[in-house]
Chain A
Amino acid sequence: ILNVEQSPQSLHVQEGDSTNFTCSFPSSNFYALHWYRWETAKSPEALFVMTLNGDEKKKGRISATLNTKEGYSYLYIKGSQPEDSATYLCALILTGGGNKLTFGTGTQLKVEL
Chain B
Amino acid sequence: KAGVTQTPRYLIKTRGQQVTLSCSPISGHRSVSWYQQTPGQGLQFLFEYFSETQRNKGNFPGRFSGRQFSNSRSEMNVSTLELGDSALYLCASSPGQPYNEQFFGPGTRLTVL
> Interface residues, chain A, CB within 8 Å of chain B?
31-32, 34, 36, 42-46, 49, 51, 89, 91, 93, 97-106
Contact = CB atoms under 8 A, between A and B. Distances in A.
A98 B99 contact: no
Interface residues of B, number: 28
The DSSP consensus for interface residues of chain B is: strand
B104 interface: yes
Contacts of B31: 98-99
B42 A105 contact: yes
B61 interface: no
Contacts of B101: 34, 46, 49
A103 B42 contact: yes
Q: 9 nearest interchain CB pairs? A: A46-B101, A43-B104, A103-B43, A98-B56, A98-B55, A93-B98, A100-B56, A44-B104, A32-B98
B56 A51 contact: no
Contacts of B4: 43
A102 B104 contact: no
A98 B57 CA distance: 10
Interface of B: 4, 31, 33, 35, 42-45, 48, 50, 55-56, 58, 90, 92, 94, 96-107
Contacts, number: 67
A87 to B, nearest CB: 10
Contacts of A31: 98-99
A91 to B, nearest CB: 8
B106 A99 contact: no
Contacts of B96: 99
A98 B48 contact: yes
A46 B101 CA distance: 6
A36 B96 CA distance: 18
B42 A100 contact: no
B100 A49 contact: yes
Contacts of A102: 45
Contacts of A105: 42
